[in-house]
Amino acid sequence: MASSSLVSTALRLVTEYVRASDIAIAAAVLFVCSAIRNRLTTPPGAPMLWPVVGIIPSLFAHLDDIYEWGTAALARAGGTFPYRGTWGGGSSGVVTSVPANVEHVLKTNFANYPKGPYYRERFVELLGHGIFNADGDAWRAQRRAATAEMHSARFLEFSHGTIDALVRDKLVPLLEKVSEKGEVVDLQDVLLRFTFDNICAAAFGVDPGCLAEGLPDVPFARAFERATELSLARFVTPPFVWKAKRFLGVGTERELVEATRAVRAFAEATVAERRAELRKTGTLAGRCDLLSRLMSSSSSSSDSGGYSDEFLRDFCISFILAGRDTSSVGLAWFFWLLASHRDVESRVLADVLSSGDGGASMDYLHAALTESMRLYPPVPADFKEAVEDDVLPDGTFVRARQRVIYYAYAMGRDKSLWGPDCLEFRPERWLNGKKSGAFAGGVESPYKYVVFNAGPRLCVGKRFAYAQMKAVAAAVLGRFRVEVLPGQEKMKPKLNTTLYMRDGLMVRFARREQRHEPGHADVPAAGG
Ligand code: HEM
């Protein structure tokens, strides 16, 4: 009773003595003080940091064009600006598009910039201690294993086989049917299904069947997608909120537990089946997927007991997360760009048709994909967390536990890095002069083109991703002209750590008049 009368007295005083105009004046004073403080402590052009809420109001004001807004803000601020997104213990640090800073974080001072506890805490349910979520010795051990297996001739041959089989037996027949019926499909969805099936085949040696006839709903794929979304939601939710929900086991946190349980159950069952097969037959020599290779190498190695089931489960889940959506999203933007650049499409097609059966390296296609990902990087931004205080090469101070966000999307659109035509889709910039026409991407600094990350944590799947993207692009373009439905001239990306198209990519497939397989010399006009 006493407390309710205290509250009503306080309310009466507030309504009697505080007028709307007072509140407006207080807000204006706060704004001016923040603006002055901002000007004194941040580079000119950097986004406003409000008291308490930091950068959050600016983010909300630009939710619809956040990538462009961030790119423009970095250009105005000279390449680096500080941010604070404080929601009771939230995130703070700097955003940068300066290659020297990126090199410093990803290579020169690598030891000071792990993924860190902020990332790990948000992904631990889904990823456990898998490579994508690990630092230090745990990361190093998995990195060594992944590199050894993925770069082995045996895995390369196997993974190319999985890609070719999926293209030939599932993707092409599906698109032929769609084309015959004149149906409209969401190409991004088809590509996402393709890469999910493909990464599961490469990592586990299983086919989840996302690309099967009728494009079915696959519980494992759905659980994986939901678990990823809900883990990512923790990055934009005040920690006290999601932690309280986790403690109480309610709402989205409860859903996360259920989704991760389903993902882990699938992974654990696959590991258990493979162990049983190894026990029964004494060998997994006939299997080349990553799980079987790791099991075989650890069972034949002399170290005590080899990899645990938990290690194998986490390793494979990390691989699926890393490899499931990135190449498909890269391909979706590529097909979309080709629809408005028919001249580039002609050259890609000529390259595909003259490449010979599984022969030449399709350098022009390689350059076109690389160029497309410069403008639309599948991972538009990434971050690392500082262990100790540090100063970046451009003089920016980073406090311990702060994050350095490096912004691949802005870097790909930076005039100072790519010249005045940086916004143009021009694959030729990646070719080694007109004469040879060979791909010359290696001469670009990996710290300027951070699409695949760089330094010791460079994407392990880069070769695999290019092989996938080239196989799909060649198979589709050789047979069909991809017609993007009108109204999609401007595409909205989804606000996510992967640059999905927000509403998918609605297309029709028109069969090319003659069937064009790689190795045939009958090059048609791209419009044909
Ligand atoms: C166009 C396609 C791809 C792009 C743009 C891409 C990009 C990246 C990026 C930016 C990272 C760094 C992530 C971080 O440290 O926070 C990364 C790491 C990684 N990627 Fe990819 N990736 C692609 C495809 C793939 C594929 C197909 C696989 C699997 C076969 C894969 C496996 C991995 C793994 C295992 C890591 C972790 C490496 C480590 O932490 O040491 N990626 N990738």
Please give the ipTM for the structure prediction. 0.98
Query: Residue of the nearest CA to atom 6 in ligand 1?
Result: 452
- Report residue 524's pLDDT band, with 50, 70 and 90 as the boundaries: very low
* Residue 80 predicted with pLDDT over 80: yes
The CATH code of the domain that includes 396 is: 1.10.630.10
Residue 102 lies in a domain: no
β-bridge partners, 507: 185, 484
Kindly state whether residues 28 and 168 are assigned to the same domain. no
Cβ atoms of residues 429 and 448 within 8 Å: no
Q: Rounded mean pLDDT of 153-167?
A: 93
Distance 458 CA to ligand 1 centre (A): 7
Ligand 1, CB cutoff 6 Å, lining residues: 131-132, 143, 146, 199, 319, 322-323, 326-327, 330, 378-379, 382, 451-453, 457, 459-461, 464-465
Residue ID of nearest Cα to ligand 1 atom 43: 459
Quote the ligand 1 centre to 268 CA distance (angstroms): 23
- Mean pLDDT throughout 33-44? 74
Contact 63, 361 (CB under 8 A): no
In a domain, 96, yes or no: no
- The best mutation among 373, 459, 463 to test binding of ligand 1, ranked by most ligand atoms within 8 Å of the C-beta, falls on 459
Q: Please indicate whether residue 348 or residue 57 has the higher confidence score (pLDDT).
A: 348
Q: Are residues 420 and 507 in the same domain?
A: yes
| Backbone φ and ψ of 414, nearest 5° | -100, 120
Which pLDDT score is estimated for 90?
64
Instruction: Print the domain residue range for 474.
Output: 131-511
Q: What is the pLDDT of residue 360?
A: 60
Asked, for residue 183, whether it belongs to a domain, the answer is yes
| Domain annotation covers residue 92 | no
Residues 241 and 381 in one domain: yes
Share of the chain above pLDDT 70, in %: 90
Within 8 A by CB and 6+ apart from 293, the residues are 149, 152, 154, 155, 284, 287
Residue 284 included in any domain: yes
Tokens describing residue 299: 């069972």
Number of Cβ within 10 Å of residue 155's Cβ equals 18
- Tell me the pLDDT band of 54, cut-offs 50, 70 and 90: confident
Identify the band that residue 338 occupies on the pLDDT scale cut at 50, 70 and 90: very high
Evaluate if residue 119 carries a pLDDT over 80: yes
User: Please, are residues 454 and 103 in contact by the beta-carbon 8 Å criterion?
Assistant: yes
The reported pLDDT for the residue numbered 176 is 96
Q: State whether 246 and 356 are in the same domain.
A: yes
Q: What is the dihedral of CA 55, 57, 58, 61, to 10 degrees?
A: 160
Quick one: 44 and 176 in the same domain?
no
Residue whose C-alpha is closest to residue 204's, from 145, 280, 270: 270
> Mean pLDDT: which of 20-24, 309-313, 355-359, 454-458 is highest?
454-458
Identify the pLDDT of residue 511. Answer: 94
Mean pLDDT, rounded, for 364-369: 96
- Structural domain contains residue 121: no
What pLDDT score was predicted for residue 28? 81
Instruction: Return the ligand 1 atom nearest residue 382 CA.
Output: 16
Q: Whose CA is nearest to atom 12 of ligand 1?
A: 453
CA of 231 to the centre of ligand 1 (A): 18
Residue 120 lies in a domain: no
- With b for 16 or more beta-carbon neighbours within 10 A and e for fewer, the 285-299 pattern comes to eebbbbbbbbbbbbb
Measured CA to CA, the distance from residue 179 to residue 171 in angstroms comes to 12
Asked if 197 and 69 sit in the same domain, the reply is no
Q: Are residues 55 and 141 in the same domain?
A: no
Question: What number does the ligand 1 atom closest to the CA of 318 have?
Answer: 35
Residue 459 annotated as binding? yes
Domain boundary among 55, 86, 117: 86
Q: In angstroms, what is the C-alpha Rg of the chain?
A: 26
User: What is the residue-averaged pLDDT of the chain?
Assistant: 88
CA of 302 to the centre of ligand 1 (A): 30
Is there a single domain that holds both residue 267 and residue 198?
Answer: yes
Residue nearest to atom 30 of ligand 1 (CA): 461
Average pLDDT, integer, range 343-352:
95
Atom index in ligand 1 nearest the CA of residue 457 equals 41
Locate 311 and state its tokens.
């290690």
Mean pLDDT computed over 493-514 = 91
Residue 304 has pLDDT above 60, yes or no: no
Lookup: tokens for 276: 């049983």
pLDDT, residue 528, reads 28
Ligand 1 centroid distance, CA of 99 (Å) = 19
Q: Identify the CA nearest to 124 among candidates 396, 389, 321, 347.
A: 321
Interaxial angle between packed helices 219-233 and 251-281, expressed in degrees from 0 to 180 and rounded to the nearest 10: 130
**Looking at the structure, do residues 135 and 234 belong to the same domain, yes or no?**
yes
Q: Which atom of ligand 1 is nearest to the CA of 199?
A: 30
- At 437, the pLDDT band (50, 70, 90 cuts) reads low
Cα separation, 324 vs 316, whole angstroms: 12
Partners of 84 in beta bridges: 92
Tokens of 263: 């993902």
Pair 73, 171 in one domain: no
69 and 142 in a common domain: no
Q: How far away, in angstroms, is 46 Cα from ligand 1 center?
A: 30
Indicate whether 53 and 154 sit together in one domain.
Answer: no
41 pLDDT above the threshold of 80: no
Closest Cα to atom 41 of ligand 1? 457
Cβ pair 43, 394 in contact under 8 A? no
Neighbouring-strand partners of residue 50: 54
Average pLDDT of span 162-175: 96
Q: Would 230 be classed as within a structural domain?
A: yes
The reported pTM is 0.89
Least reliable range by pLDDT among 28-37, 169-178, 192-201, 475-484: 28-37
**How far is residue 323's CA from residue 163's CA, in Å, rounded to a whole number?**
13
How many A from CA of 317 to the centre of ligand 1? 13
Atom 2 of ligand 1: nearest residue by CA position:
327
- Among protein residues, the one with the nearest Cα to ligand 1's atom 3 is 326
Count of the separate structural domains present in the chain: 2
